[in-house]
Amino acid sequence: MEFNSQPSFNLHLDLNSCFASIEQQANPFLRGKSVAVASYPTPGGCILAASIEAKKVGIKTGMRVFEGRRFDPRLIVLKPDPWKYRNVHLKLRELISEYTNDFSPKSIDEFVLNLRDYPALRNGSIKAVGREIKMRIKKEIGEWLTVSVGIAPNRYLAKIAAGLKKPDGLEEINKDNFFEVYSKLKLTDLTGIKTRNAIRLNTMGIYSVLDFYRSPVWRLRAAFHSITGLYWHMRLSGFEVDDISSKRGSFGNSVAIGKNLSKVEELAPILSRLTEKMSARLRSSGFSAKGIHLAIVYKDGSWWHRGRQMPRSFFDSKDFYKAAFKLLVEASVRRPVLNIAVSCFSLEKTHSLQLDFFNDLAKQKRLVEAEDLINERWGGFSVSSARSFGGAAAVLDRIAFGGVKELEEFSLNS
């Protein structure tokens, strides 16, 4: 397949070192220094974002704070401030919407814009639009914020282009330069190709991105054992296959636990707080759910998970908690827990309630709605179960990594 000869209409925008750069924007005294935003500022805390200066000395996202300090003992470690980051995300969203309404946030710090047929392209090239957006971000949102912009005929290559030069890049992949770009990339530089997929490709004699691009579809289908091979062929040829919006299928909350907790009675308050957070978000989006799932990752690296369908659709935190607690007991926790995650699935829109022989669901719904109203007026967890107060310190406000659906839930205008 020939490379797509259409002009580039897709622009991928990636805010560099997002959380750390925003902290440096807020506090000018942090600029030019090694800064990390970590889940916890303690030595075992996980680094969520490293400033450009910290990255230059080798500090990376995912390292522990103590590991980062080995690279730079003066590393400044900050706790996350989610509302700062959400505000910058909303400002970016507002700015981008002046160029196109066909855009989607891919995460808190990434957007993809389709500019086809939008007036922004009438007066100049897509590169000029990219330059203008970069300049306006500095002028209108924060002079310390830099973005890497990638431009291509499809979304996937626009993302790859955005990663070619970091920070502050503006790169395009198109029919004229794709060959040169591909020849400089390794297979694992491609988003979605990690070691396992690279091995699959290697077994079919594909060792480089150029091999990957040149491979016939039958060979790629054989490598991936599915239609995915065709999709890869189209992606690398510059055709669109990723313009799909996923429907929400679940709501979930999780927490990484700092302390060594390995008893059900120690984990129950945390589980209670998580189920309250999860079910409040579920209700405010107008859903109830029939399925519950619990996943536990232990500090020794092992894990356990189980999901269950419930006899009817639940909306009340108490019902979710009871179902999740049963799963927690079934997990027979005996080792220290690193991460606990609860989610609900099999979502249903809450238009009407099915009658229940034993429970007055209408009454229960009115009570839950009253609780939600109080929490909405006075802030989350003003009214919640006594049990969940014990979990409050462990379950903090956090931004889900790569979570796009959470971004649809917050707004400052309510």
Partner 1 sequence: MIMAEQIYETVLVGMNEYPRWVKWKDRIYKIEKVGLHHTYRQGKTLYHVFSVASKNLFMRLVFNTESLGWKLEEVENGI
- Chain positions contacting partner 1, by CB under 8 A: 22, 25-30, 76, 83-84, 86-88, 142, 375-379, 382, 412, 414
128-145 core/surface letters (b: 16 or more CB in 10 A; e: else): ebbeebbeebeeebbebb
- Smallest distance, partner 1 to C-beta of residue 83, A: 4
Place of tokens 């996350």: 80
- Smallest distance, partner 1 to C-beta of residue 397, A: 10
Smaller CB distance to partner 1: residue 262 or 375?
Answer: 375
Q: How much is the CA Rg of the chain, to the nearest whole Å?
A: 24
Task: Please state, in angstroms and as integers, the Cα–Cα distance from residue 46 to each residue in 50, 109, 176, 295, 334, following that order.
Answer: 11, 19, 42, 20, 24
Smaller CB distance to partner 1: residue 22 or 271?
Answer: 22
Smaller CB distance to partner 1: residue 244 or 412?
Answer: 412
Helices (H), 100-216: 126-136, 155-162, 178-184, 195-203, 209-214
The neighbouring-strand residues paired with 78 are 37
The neighbouring-strand residues paired with 345 are 250, 291
Smaller CB distance to partner 1: residue 352 or 414?
Answer: 414
Smaller CB distance to partner 1: residue 144 or 156?
Answer: 144
- Smallest distance, partner 1 to C-beta of residue 366, A: 20
- Smallest distance, partner 1 to C-beta of residue 379, A: 4
Smaller CB distance to partner 1: residue 78 or 292?
Answer: 78
Interatomic CA distance for residues 152 and 163, integer angstroms? 12
Secondary structure (3-state) at 317: helix
- Smallest distance, partner 1 to C-beta of residue 374, A: 9
- Smallest distance, partner 1 to C-beta of residue 372, A: 12
Smaller CB distance to partner 1: residue 119 or 379?
Answer: 379
- Smallest distance, partner 1 to C-beta of residue 88, A: 8
Interatomic CA distance for residues 219 and 348, integer angstroms? 42
Helices (H), 225-307: 228-236, 264-284
Smaller CB distance to partner 1: residue 30 or 187?
Answer: 30
The token pair that represents 326 in the structure block: 């049963």
Secondary structure (3-state) at 352: coil
- Smallest distance, partner 1 to C-beta of residue 50, A: 17
Handedness of CA 51, 56, 61, 66 (dihedral sign): negative
